[in-house]
Amino acid sequence: MKTNLLNISGVQVLSKENQRQIFGQVFVEETGDISKCGCSCSGAVTGPAYCQRLIACPQVYTCPQV
């Protein structure tokens, strides 16, 4: 596998020192209205699909007893 990657033009093996100098993170700009997101009493994220990427809910059951 490593041999195949090195056959791609522009690919080079990074030394341990070069790897230590790389800083960064993945940034994905989320679009959507966070006010539409919420949590159910069972701790599940509610709202549009993007809400699961924007917020987290406590995993505590807080529903009132019926």
Q: How do residues 10-54 score in pLDDT, each as one tens digit?
A: 877 888 888 888 887 666 666 788 899 999 888 899 999 888 888
Show the domain range for 52: 34-65
* Listed residue (24, 23, 63, 31) closest to 48, CA to CA: 31
**pLDDT value at 66 more than 80:** no
Tokens at 18, concatenated: 């070069």
Q: For residue 39, which amino acid is it?
A: C
**pLDDT value at 3 more than 70:** no
Per-residue pLDDT at 22: 83
Q: Domain for residue 38, yes or no?
A: yes
Per-residue pLDDT at 14: 84
Q: Domain for residue 11, yes or no?
A: no
Rounded to whole angstroms, the Cα distance separating 5 from 45 reads 40
DSSP three-state, residue 45: strand
Rounded to whole angstroms, the Cα distance separating 35 from 47 reads 9
Tally the domains of the chain. Answer: 1
pTM: 0.48
Q: Domain for residue 39, yes or no?
A: yes
Q: Domain for residue 1, yes or no?
A: no
